[in-house]
Amino acid sequence: MSKNLYRKMLVKGREGSIILMAVFIVIFIAALMITVEIMRLSDLEMVTNQIEEMQAYYCAESCVEYSIWQTRLNINSPATNFSQTVNFPSMNCVLCVGGCSVTTGWTCSATVQNAKADSNPLFTYYNILYITGTGQTTHFTKQVRADVRRVILSTTTPNYQQILRWREL
């Protein structure tokens, strides 16, 4: 058998094997790229959810701060001489981006409840405020509660407030 004939027989048995290997490599690389893309999109969704959850928290926190400010301005809201719950109306949370305000459609609301700090019957002022702010975004709802002690000198003088505890519920 001549050398050329022997080479032709070897090549004839392997026709198409390189194309088959190339197809398998392309399929493997495509599957690998799809897997990486799915993982990347999953991470992106997790980060987006974390950001929106933080925004719901800060929205609730801003309602608590607004309520503290309102109770400082109005000494009888809620009342100082009897137990009362005051619900502040729902407000829109505004997002500040680059110095301009953007309305988000997210809302927050606050509830202020008062209580006596001491169980002494001679102590007549309801001077502890439990302020609960609820922030709501598209997918998340967060609540923040502040326990505030207001020092009341009389029903007509301005009061000052001391934040005792601030926490997420």
C-alpha Rg value of the chain to the nearest Å:
33
Specify if 51 maps to a domain.
Answer: yes
pLDDT in tens, the chain (169 residues): 566 666 666 555 566 678 888 999 999 999 999 999 999 999 999 999 998 899 889 889 988 888 888 887 776 677 777 778 888 888 887 766 665 666 677 888 888 888 876 666 666 677 788 889 998 888 899 999 999 887 766 655 556 778 888 888 8
Specify if 1 maps to a domain.
Answer: no
Distance CA 93, CA 157 (A): 32
What does the pLDDT read at residue 13?
Answer: 57
- Sequence-ordered list of residues with C-beta below 8 angstroms from that of 129, at least 6 positions apart, any chain: 71, 78, 112, 113, 114, 146, 147, 148, 149, 150, 161
What does the pLDDT read at residue 74?
Answer: 75
- Give the distance, in angstroms, between the CA of residue 30 and the centroid of all CA atoms in the same chain: 36
What does the pLDDT read at residue 38?
Answer: 95
Q: What is the pTM of this model?
A: 0.71
Specify if 20 maps to a domain.
Answer: yes
What does the pLDDT read at residue 83?
Answer: 77
Specify whether the CB–CB gap between 80 and 127 falls below 8 A.
Answer: yes
Specify if 96 maps to a domain.
Answer: yes
- Give the distance, in angstroms, between the CA of residue 89 and the centroid of all CA atoms in the same chain: 21
- Domains identified in the chain, total number: 1
What does the pLDDT read at residue 153?
Answer: 64
Which residues form the domain of 58? 6-168
Specify if 25 maps to a domain.
Answer: yes
What does the pLDDT read at residue 6?
Answer: 60
Specify if 58 maps to a domain.
Answer: yes
Specify if 86 maps to a domain.
Answer: yes
| Residue-wise burial string across 69-105, b where 16 or more C-beta atoms lie within 10 A, e elsewhere | eebeeebebbebeeeeebebeeeebeeeeeeeeeeee
Specify if 139 maps to a domain.
Answer: yes
